[in-house]
Amino acid sequence: MCWPGSFTLLSELSITGQTARRARGPDPRDLRDLRERRRERLLFRGDAVEDPDGTRPPLAWAVFWHGVYGTGLVKWGYVLWDAGRVEGSGARAVLERE
């Protein structure tokens, strides 16, 4: 997958790519950056809940960001887990400490 300007998905998700994105500052046209600056609430509503604005974060993402919108890098493995696995494995407690 390529982004405009020949950026690849992997390059954008790398530490270098994220550092460069942060150095450029927030993009006023990017709703995600706006939500992060406003510290909007981003709550877990369930693994299969339809959300009218299209925002349905996994439990691990919502816990990691303390219930507010965040766009930085996180450890993807546990972000992709469903709520049952996050709770059952004890990962939630680990996330809450980070």
Does a structural domain hold residue 1? Answer: no
Task: State pTM to two decimals.
Answer: 0.60
Which are the contacts of 39, defined by CB distance < 8 A and separation ≥ 6? 68, 69
Q: What share of the chain is helix, strand, coil (3-state, %, to 5)?
A: 50, 5, 45
pLDDT at 33: 77
Does a structural domain hold residue 43? Answer: yes
Mean pLDDT computed over 21-30? 73
User: The dihedral of CA 72, 73, 76, 78: what is its sign?
Assistant: negative
User: The dihedral of CA 58, 8, 14, 28: what is its sign?
Assistant: negative
Give the structural domain span for 43: 30-97
pLDDT at 2: 44
Domain count across the chain: 1
Query: CA-to-CA distance for 63 and 79, rounded, in angstroms?
Result: 10
Q: In terms of pLDDT, which residue wins out, 43 or 78?
A: 43
Does a structural domain hold residue 16? Answer: no
